[in-house]
Amino acid sequence: MKEIAFADIASLVGQEVGVSDWVEISQERVNQFAQATGDHQWIHIDVERATREIGGPIAHGYLTLSLIPMLGADILHVTGVTRGINYGCDKVRFTNMVRVGKRVRMRQKLLSVEPKAGGLQMKNECTIEIEGEERPACVAETISIIYGG
């Protein structure tokens, strides 16, 4: 994990910040996400049917996207931050499905840092990679604001 001071974060603009550890996408995680969101589509939760019709169940695209904060915490720690908020996304693309049992990780690049609302607005390119596959599962431009103290 990389560590940098709040005042120095802009020095990373244009650079790959780092890569997270691998995380397995289990059927239990997919089922819990389905329960939390109400998205019970059979391609995610009906293991027998999904195996028969599409080769196995797949994770929800939004489950993959929701891993970004957890995976990002594995990549970069900014010291001197009192709080941070998610501000949104400029672009999200689901470019490959994640089959249950696969492992994913995130590669993060800092695209920009600008003053905003008394803090610093950071835009990151977050690429969720699937172990053993060329195409990533998701590429998202995320925006957050961090505040120093």
pLDDT for 109 equals 98
pLDDT in tens, 112-130: 999 999 999 999 999 999 9
106 dihedral zone (left: phi>0; alpha: psi -120 to 50; beta): beta
Domain count, the chain: 1
Give the residue-averaged pLDDT of 12-30. Answer: 98
Give the residue-averaged pLDDT of 87-107. Answer: 97
Residues 129, 67 contacting (CB under 8 angstroms): no
User: 112 in helix, strand or coil?
Assistant: strand
pLDDT for 139 equals 98
| pLDDT value at 149 more than 90 | no
The contacts of residue 119 (CB under 8 Å, 6+ apart) are 145, 146, 147, 148
| pLDDT value at 132 more than 90 | yes
Give the residue-averaged pLDDT of 100-122. Answer: 97
Quote the domain boundaries for residue 85. Answer: 2-148
- pTM greater than 0.75: yes
Which CATH number does the domain housing residue 45 bear? Answer: 3.10.129.10
